[in-house]
Amino acid sequence: MYSEGMSTSERLVESARELLWDRGYVGTSPKAILERAGAGQGSMYHHFRGKPDLALAAIRRTAEELRSAAEGVLRGPGTPYDRIEAYLLRERDVLRGCPIGRLTMDPEVFASEELRAPVDETITAIRELIARTVEEGKRQGQFAPALDGAEIAAAVLATVQGGYVLARASGSPAAFDAGVRGLLSLLTPSPPGQEN
């Protein structure tokens, strides 16, 4: 599962990331992390202060990856609409859900300011990137002047996170895709001379 050159601490972090995504914090036991990582009994406590410390390292890594992926698309080539569309349409494991968004439903993550912080920081950073992209589109005349970048960014994130819930509830990515298509149809730029 893991490359031979990967250190024990790396295997522990990667194992924790996968298990947190699949089971959440409450459902992820130290024993399951150790088994998945192929690590010995005391290795977690050798490298980390315990489950919360390891979980924080795993959450931070996942958060950094998600933020980096969003930045790559939202700061990439194309018009502001193209970039928002690319963000919404990028490949996702829809039925598995969002590895960060799912943690917001975990009572122990919600109760821990330390564990919740990288989740909140990531969602805030992506929301700000989307809002700036919308504002850029307004300056270019691509979006209606009345649109509020922060509100559209919140709607984009709500569509993505809500789409995960709808898809998981139905057992099909079709619900996620329908939400994305609906939002994009509302954001489609008007032809020159017409307002949205």
What CATH number should be reported for the domain holding residue 111? Answer: 1.10.357.10
Assess if residue 38 is contained within a domain.
no
Question: Range of 162's domain?
Answer: 59-187
Q: What is 81-94 written as a DSSP string?
A: HHHHHHHHHS---G
The answer as to whether 83 is a domain residue is yes
- Give the pLDDT score at 5: 77
The string of pLDDT tens digits covering residues 16-53 is 999 999 999 999 999 999 999 999 888 888 899 999 99
| Residue burial 134-159, b: 16+ Cβ < 10 Å; e: rest | bbebbeeebbeeeeebeebbebbbeb
- Please state the rounded mean pLDDT for residues 142-166: 95
Q: Which residue has the tokens 């700036």?
A: 132
Question: Sign of the C-alpha dihedral, residues 31, 37, 43, 48?
Answer: negative
Q: Is residue 46 in a domain?
A: no
Q: What pTM does this model have? A: 0.89
Number of structural domains in the chain: 1
The answer as to whether 51 is a domain residue is no
CB within 8 Å of 120: residues ≥ 6 apart: none
Residue in this structure with the two tokens 């819930």, named with its chain if needed: 165
Radius of gyration of the chain (CA): 19
Mean pLDDT of 174-196: 82
Residue 20 placed within a domain: no
Let me know if residue 39 belongs to a domain. no
Alpha helix locations (H) across the chain? 8-23, 30-37, 43-47, 51-74, 80-89, 107-111, 113-139, 149-170, 174-187
Does residue 92 form part of some domain? Answer: yes
* pLDDT of 196 over the 60 cut: no
Q: Model confidence over 83-114: pLDDT tens digits?
A: 999 999 999 999 999 999 999 999 999 999 99
Q: Classify residue 127: in a domain, yes or no.
A: yes
Instruction: Read off the pLDDT of each residue in 136-151 and give the average, rounded to a whole number.
Output: 94
List the structure tokens of 168.
């998981």
